[in-house]
Chains A and B, each alone.
Chain A
Amino acid sequence: MGERVQVAERASGQLVEATLHEGLTTRDLEVIERSWAAHRAELVAALMGAGVERRLWPESLHWDWGRKAPLLELLLVNAFGVACRGGWQAVMMTKTAGYDARVSSEAGKPLVYVDFVETAPWNWTISELGRLPVFKGLGSVLIRRAVQQSRAEGFRGRVGLHALPQAERFYGQVCGMTRVGPDAAKQDLVYFEFTRQQADAFISGGGDR
Chain B
Amino acid sequence: MSTTERRTMTLNLTEAEMRVLEALAEKKDLSKTAVLRQALRLYQLIEHRTSQGERLVLEDDRLAKKAEVMVL
Contact = CB atoms under 8 A, between A and B. Distances in A.
Interface in A12-70: 22-23
Given A23-B4, A73-B48, A74-B48, A96 B41 contact: yes
Interface residues of A, number: 16
Nearest to B49: A74
Given A74-B44, A96-B41, A153 B28 contact: no
A164 interface: no
A76 B42 contact: yes
A153 B38 CA distance: 10
SS class, residues of chain B in contact with chain A: helix
Contact of B45 (A22, A74, A108, A154): A74
A108 B28 contact: yes
Contacts of B30: 110, 154-155
A109 interface: yes
B34 interface: yes
A136 interface: no
Given A23-B4, A73-B48, A74-B48, A97 B41 contact: yes
B29 interface: yes
Interface of A: 22-23, 73-76, 96-98, 108-110, 153-156
Interface of B: 2-4, 27-31, 34, 37-38, 40-42, 44-45, 48
A-B interface, 6 closest residue pairs, ranked by CB to CB distance from nearest: A97-B41, A76-B41, A23-B3, A154-B34, A75-B41, A97-B38
